[in-house]
Structure 1
Amino acid sequence: MRLSTLIATLQRIATRGGDPDVMVSVQSQAELRGTIPAVGINAAHAGFDWDSGRVLLTPAQPVVALTAAQVEAIVKSVREGQSWHTYQTYKTLRQRCRDLEAQVARLTSKNGPAASA
């Protein structure tokens, strides 16, 4: 969206009266009931240096871009009744186990079969 389009849209909204909150909608995999999930805007400023030519909005809460694979994993985890954080902990521990198994295999092969007895 271009700044001119945003300004025109905001001006049309402003003519309706009131002073509505400015929010950014966020994607949610949860079933929607009621309002659309959104976060507020704390600030707006013109970008400079590498961000010149851009208007940047600072959200009131962190907004993180997820890959399609991460979203799919979250959806699967939620469907199975698990939390995303539990899934991430599981992935980390699973990788750690694989690394330790590989280290044990290297040490065993280095020291020979007698060392493991």
Structure 2
Amino acid sequence: MLNKSIGRSFKKGSVTMEFVTLIPLLLIMILFIAQFFVAGMAVVETEVTLRDTVRYAAEIGDEKKAKRWGLNRFDASGYYDMESLKVEIKDEEVIATARTRIEWLFTSAAPFHYRSKVKTPVID
């Protein structure tokens, strides 16, 4: 009889301790997944914009027009934005280079960047 009451007193707060321990862990996991999702969306949006920009530049042959078109095409959000887009046509090839700034969701640290470069032949 004495052993049963001692066992219960040790288990009394275990559910509360598990809850208090798991909530911050779950919050950190959710923030990590959300940051990974935002970075993935920024990469996909950058790659799609670059692909479409080089195609457009290859068709029309005008670097400035293609750059404006590409910057307007990029669908920025509050967490990522295209900092620069460079379009060059040389040696019958279109080269587009982009740099996208991605903000951290849960801290005010400096943002990180994604850079990409795409090439395609000029269409005559």
What TM-score does the superposition give when structure 1 sets the normalisation length?
A: 0.31
Structure with the higher helix share, 1 or 2: 2
Structure with the higher strand share, 1 or 2: 2
Higher relative contact order (CA 8 A, sep 6+): 2
What TM-score does the superposition give when structure 2 sets the normalisation length?
A: 0.30
